[in-house]
Each structure stands twice: as structure tokens, then as C-alpha cells.
Amino acid sequence: MKNLLSTKDVARLLGINEKMVYTLVSEKGLPATKVTGKWIFPGHLVEQWIETNTINYPSQASNLPPYHGLLIIAGSNDPLLEKTISLFNRTHTDHIAVFGNIGSMGGLAALKKNRCHIATSHLLQDDDSEYNFDFATRELDKTPAVVNFCRREQGLLLQKGNPKKIKSIADLAKPDTIIVNRPMSTGTRLLLDTELKKTGTQGDKIKGYTHEVNRHIDVGLEILSGKADAGLAIRPVASLLGLNFLPLRWERYDLLISKEKFFDKGVQLLIGLLHEKIFSDLANSFNGYDINSSGKVIFPYEDKQE
């Protein structure tokens, strides 16, 4: 088992008193869970939380090299994105696109450190309607260009036939229900925690809340195998695996690009691909995607005018 810290350990690590640790748990999302009435903190998640919330980074010894055919994408994963990267590599044989699955917050951190050309993100803002802009403003030194990749439907994946009769987020707290979760750095985890908060449900009261997998498809496979009854993921996975799906909301999944890299050849080729019929055919082979805005530059609060 990975290193577990007590409240006193975390207070010592952060140089604060123990009361402040409880405040960070309730107000700032410091990763923690209760076991036998006491708070414990997974050490690796505390380190992740510290890194994610770091404001001032030391200047980098080196930047991404000038573009010579390697396009680096990092952040939140998506099945259509994976297919699109494969399409890009088949179509533009002088270029190679690679993807690092590190979650939406990880993608922003990589973009800030100049480790990637494009960050993929679907982070729901506090206004419960917009995505990514507030996080980009807070986490990045410079405002990026934001290009929509797609809109996609998020909801609960359920075992076929829904034997546990799960009809809402609150039902995840039933004693006989086990869920599978996504890591703290992902937009899907942020959405789940937001929805749980609305119902007054504590995550650490739900069986399986601390069991995390890295991709949407992994959530589906855990449910398909019977290891879990439910998990938050996108509708395309439910369709692929023949699972039940309880819809929650449509979300915007964006490409965030530093303005210095926006006109790099590979970036422009990828964006151009989103306007082609071959991409729309790919998207239409799934259920749960809306590509009406794919490839378009998105500006803050544009969606509220729809």
C-alpha cells in the first residue's frame, strides 16, 4: 500500500497547524479519507495536490524544441481523441502525434511547463455551466487559445439492466453499491465530487470511492467485469460495452494551446482535421458526441449565448 499520512504528518509537511489541515480538506480539496473515524491522507495524492496548486514555477532550463514533426498532446483522455490521433498519424505521415494521459489538471500543468503543444481539458467551473477558462486563467501564466474538440455526454455507467436500481447520484451511497472512480486530476472526478456535494453525499461514505482507474474505458471495463456497479464516464463507453447509462450533462472538451505554438504545423494540421468529413464520420461512429463546434476557437462565455 502506498504511503499513508496522518493529520499530524500532513500538518508537519505543510508547516501548518492541524486545524488548518481540516480546512484544506473541506475547502481546497486536499485528498483525504476517513478510516475508523480518523482522517488519513495518501502521500502520493497529497504530493499531486501540492503540485497542482503550485502558483510559481522556476523558469524552465529548456523549452519545447522548434516543431520538427512531433506533436505532443497531454491531459484528459477521450476515445474519439485516440481515434483522431491515429487518423492524424495515418494521414500526415511526416508527422507523429503522441498523447500523455495525465488528466485535465495534469495537462494544464504540462502546458504551463512547456512540456506539450496541446492540453486537453473538460474542467467544470464553479458557475456550473462554463468549462476550462477560469482554470486556464488561474493555472497558466499566459492565456491560451481554446479550440473545441467536441461536446460529449457525461453520466453514470451502470451494469446492464441496472440490477442495483440506481436512478441518481445519491443512490451511489446505497450500502450494497460499489463504484469505480477517476483520479483527482481529472475533470470527471471534479464533476462527480460536484454532483455529490449537491446531494450532500460524502465521497468517503461510498464503497469504491478510493478505487481509481485512468481512462473512461477502464471505468466501463470495471463495471462490465462485475467489479463495480457504477462509475462516472462518457456515453460512448456505455455504447461500446453495452452498459446502461444514466445521463447527467453535456460537457465541453477543449484543446488548450499556447499562443506561441498555435501556428506550429502539427497543431494546425490537427485543427484542420477536425473540419474534415473523415473526422465527422469517426465521431458519428460513436453515440454521445456533438461536433458542431469542433475545430472552432472558443471564447469565454460563448456558450451562455446559445
- pLDDT digit string (tens) for 83-116? 999 999 999 999 999 999 999 999 999 999 999 9
SS3 assignment, position 91: helix
- Give all strands (DSSP E) within 189-229, no chain letters: none
The answer, yes or no, to whether residue 61 has pLDDT greater than 50, is: no
pLDDT cut 90: percent of the chain above it: 71
Residue 291 is placed in which grid cell?
461536433
Say which range, 57-71, 155-169, 216-230, 279-293, has the weakest mean pLDDT.
57-71
pLDDT cut 70: percent of the chain above it: 94
Give the residue-averaged pLDDT of 204-221: 95
Give the residue-averaged pLDDT of 184-208: 93
Percent of the chain as helix, strand, coil, to the nearest 5: 40, 25, 40
Angle at 197 between CA 151 and CA 16, to 5 degrees: 110
Residues 211, 212, 216, 222, Cα dihedral to 10°: -30
pTM of structure: 0.78
Q: How confident is the model at residue 54 (pLDDT cuts 50, 70, 90)?
A: low
d(CA 171, CA 165) in angstroms, rounded, equals 8
Instruction: Give the pLDDT score at 302.
Output: 46
